Amino acid sequence: MSHPGTTPEADGQVSDAVRGNWVDHWAPAWARPYLRLSRADRPIGTWLLLLPCWWGLLLAMVHDGGASWFDLWIFLGCGIGAFLMRGAGCTWNDITDRHIDGSVARTTSRPIPSGQVSVKQALAWAGAQSLVSFGILLTFPPMAILLGVISLLPVAVYPFAKRFTWWPQVFLGIAFNWGALLAWTAHTGSLGLPAVLLYLSGMVWTLFYDTIYAHQDKEDDALIGVKSTARFFGDDATPKWLARFLVATVALMGLAIIGAAPRGEILQLVILIAGPWALGWHLMWQMRRLDVNDGARLLMLFRSNRDAGLLPVLFFAAALLA
């Protein structure tokens, strides 16, 4: 905890961490820099990586008309894997961005630029998290294992995307929604079109929420030459683009549901379709409260996407029980 006369950052806390988080208050002192590297003090990223996994698993279960005990392991394994791989990805991101992070007000307190962890220590930490995740992946069917290995490519490329494209959020979407493909395949043993459509829906959703997030850093990004959709769209055009992303997210998820729902099960289809509609209403709620120049509001809206993504999970689970 912070002592009198000190700022949170003076105690090693990261400036945009959730206040009162368990890492800063309960984790052993030696482990805190590593857990901060993994963003364990900012759990929203784990949720955003995990939720597409649960979408894919639940929709696959509805498609197949049932569940098995192995599905419970997929459900749990995705949760553990999301925490670990988000941690490994964020650690890799901080390694590649260590010079940039030191120049951005919101990120200068992160463990590497602030000197809490060396690059060698961070690499070892990223490797350890990845190895444990790989152990979980090996319990899944062969096609799911292959998809999991392939997912390392977009994870590795993403930190560099903002250096060469105005659309780095696309690369984030490719990486963050891979779980929709993997979890569907872990259940069914093979990849299907509904999973691909669900994956694309998640990618566009990522464009929505990460454009909101990127507006926090647009001034610093402009000074150091980092690209983002927030800078590319500008303040005036951002709401129009967010509206397009909203429509595409809902439409693609709806198409995935139509492709996956059993024929003749009208009640089940109605419950499933309520999922993307509920998600769409939440995204509309975010747009109505958007202020692209209010950092606190932007962070709040970004974090609210945990609840937005949980809405399809609830409706897909209800459809499975219908």
Q: What's residue 289's pLDDT? A: 98
Q: What's residue 11's pLDDT? A: 63
CA distances from residue 202 to 89, 108, 161 in whole angstroms, order as listed: 18, 30, 19
The Cα 83–Cα 81 span in angstroms is 5
With cut-offs at 50, 70 and 90, classify the pLDDT of residue 1.
very low
> Considering only 166-180, 191-205, 243-257, 258-272, which range has the smallest mean pLDDT?
258-272
With cut-offs at 50, 70 and 90, classify the pLDDT of residue 16.
low
Percent of the chain with pLDDT over 90: 74
Average pLDDT value for residue range 37-52: 94
Q: What's residue 199's pLDDT? A: 98
Q: Which two tokens stand for residue 100?
A: 């940039």
**pLDDT single digits (tens) 169-208:** 999 999 999 999 999 999 999 999 999 999 999 999 999 9
- Average pLDDT along the chain: 91
Helices (H), 177-228: 178-188, 193-214, 218-224
Please give the single-letter amino acid code of residue 136.
Answer: I
The answer to whether 175 touches 89, Cβ cutoff 8 Å, is yes
pLDDT at 283 over 50: yes
Going 145 to 149 to 151 to 155, the CA torsion angle's sign is positive
With cut-offs at 50, 70 and 90, classify the pLDDT of residue 69.
very high
The answer to whether 147 touches 153, Cβ cutoff 8 Å, is no
Instruction: Give 22-321's CATH code, choosing from 1.10.357.10, 3.40.50.970, 3.40.50.720, 1.10.357.140.
Output: 1.10.357.140
With cut-offs at 50, 70 and 90, classify the pLDDT of residue 25.
confident
More confident residue, 206 or 66: 206
Q: Please provide the DSSP assignment of 56-89 as one string.
A: HHHHHHHHHT---HHHHHHHHHHHHHHHHHHHHH
Residue 261, classified by CB atoms within 10 Å of its CB into exposed (0-12), middle (13-18) or buried (19+), is buried
Average pLDDT value for residue range 69-78: 96
Q: What's residue 7's pLDDT? A: 41
pLDDT at 66 over 90: no
**Which DSSP letter does residue 11 get?**
G
Tell me, yes or no, if the pTM score tops 0.85. Answer: yes
Q: What's residue 195's pLDDT? A: 98
Which of 132, 121, 42 lies closest to 85 in space, CA to CA? 132
Average pLDDT value for residue range 289-300: 96
More confident residue, 67 or 250: 250
Per-domain boundaries in the chain: 22-321
**pLDDT single digits (tens) 96-140:** 988 777 677 677 878 888 888 999 999 999 999 999 999 999 999
